[in-house]
A = this chain, B = another copy of it.
């Protein structure tokens, strides 16, 4: 018999990406703009009903947050305290499960992307890695022994504190909670606020990139020393400038100063700090992995 067919939803603040398939080779996707829950979910549900005729084994959802991931919580599967109008406390998992009657896997959007990259992309074959996205915000997912680390809730790596040299960079930071935390210094909107133009309009030789690379390297040093990953994947809008990777690797090596005595970290940063390889498909492909896990748990 052929392998099971899965569904996936990458639930984002601006669009929902839906997919059916079993991996990168038989992927079919569709996108729907995010509006109200009712207006967004109707075409999402229709997509799965039309495409699969009841053959879906499970659906995996990677969602924007904050979300409740605790299976013993009454709010499990819900989007919780988002400022997005209409979505507060929306039962995303329950709505999909009720409409389609299949097991549902659920995690954060960044966790889903990490799982996709771990199965088919830039972290294939690794048990322990970090997936970090630097864009509108900064978010990270850690995979430890093949599973997404959740702990008490889930990590919020964008909000770690890093050194901020206010002489070199007087910008106060853009985070409404912490001002100059990692995200507050390094996210796309912080770059825009600091330099007066969007990041993608800053030329590659602009001083903005060396400063940005320094902040990203400081964050990565802290994650590397705390999680000891086998590789770190950096995605998101800010990382679309290919030249920034070399700047980040140089600063990472300088900051670590030979302390982590492993060949990969000492001599192969070009394969240790890398872009993801699945592009925009990582989230829905990770949704297939979440769907597979949900199916196994029900069996």
Residues of A within 8 A of B (CB): 66, 80-81, 128, 140, 142, 144-145, 147, 149-157, 159-164, 177-178, 218, 221-223, 225-230, 255, 257-262, 264-265
B257 touches A152 (CB 8 A): no
CA distance in complex: A261, B159 (Å): 14
Question: How many identical chains are in the complex?
Answer: 2
- Within 8 Å by CB of A159, from B162, B259, B265, lies B259
A226 touches B226 (CB 8 A): yes
CA distance in complex: A81, B266 (Å): 15
CA distance in complex: A203, B203 (Å): 55
A228 touches B151 (CB 8 A): yes
Q: Which residues of B contact A229 (CB under 8 A)?
A: 151-152
- Within 8 Å by CB of A151, from B150, B163, B230, B255, lies B230
Q: Tell whether A155 pairs with B81 under 8 Å between CB atoms, given A163-B162, A259-B178.
A: no
B265 touches A227 (CB 8 A): no
A177 touches B227 (CB 8 A): no
